[in-house]
Amino acid sequence: MQDCRHAAGRLFGQSLLVLALLVATTSTRVEAQSSSAAQGTIRGTVKNVASGLPLGNAQVFVVGTTTGGLTNGSGVFTITGVPSGTQIV
């Protein structure tokens, strides 16, 4: 039982490390799809770099703002109220 907890803890730690490295080393430029003249919506999916599996409950923010949200269990996120134009998440 202790081996299972240790393996699960190590896997969780590795996933957090991968996510931290992913966030620290990559930014994605996206074009906000305009729903009005001044604001748009960004939709996307966050995946684990090593496994390619979707990451649920990952925080996603538009750089330089407090606008953001969490991914769902399938790694999908939607951020609304984003200034139109090119943004970095």
Residue-wise pLDDT for 22-46, tens only, equals 443 344 555 555 544 578 899 999 9
Q: CA–CA separation, 3 vs 82, rounded Å?
A: 46
What mean pLDDT value characterizes the chain?
A: 74
**H or E segment and range at residue 68:** strand 68-70
Signed CA dihedral, 74, 40, 60, 24: sign only: positive
Q: CA–CA separation, 74 vs 24, rounded Å?
A: 22
pLDDT in tens, 49-86: 999 999 999 999 999 999 999 999 999 999 998 988 88
48 vs 22, higher pLDDT: 48
Q: CA–CA separation, 43 vs 31, rounded Å?
A: 10
Q: Which two tokens stand for residue 48?
A: 């684990």
Q: What is the pTM of this model?
A: 0.59
